[in-house]
Structure 1
Amino acid sequence: MRLLGGLVAALAVVLVPSAPAFADNPPVASKTDLAQQAPAKKFERYSSGKRAYTKGSLTGVVTNPGAVIENADVKVSGKISDLTKGSGCGYAVFRITYQKGGNQPFTHKTFRDCTYKTPASYSFTYKKATLVELKVCSEAKTTKVSDQCLYGGVWKVVYATI
Structure 2
Amino acid sequence: MNVSILKGISFGFTSSIITALGMMVGIYVSTGSQIAVIGSIFLIAVADSLSDSLGIHISEESDKTKPHSQVWESTFATFLSKFFLTCTFLIPIFFLSLQDAIIAGSIWGIIILSALSYFIAKTKKENPAQVIGEHLLIATIVIIASYFIGVWVAATFN
Q: TM-score, normalised by structure 2?
A: 0.26
Higher relative contact order (CA 8 A, sep 6+): 2
Which structure has the greater CA radius of gyration?
1
Structure with the largest fraction of helix: 2
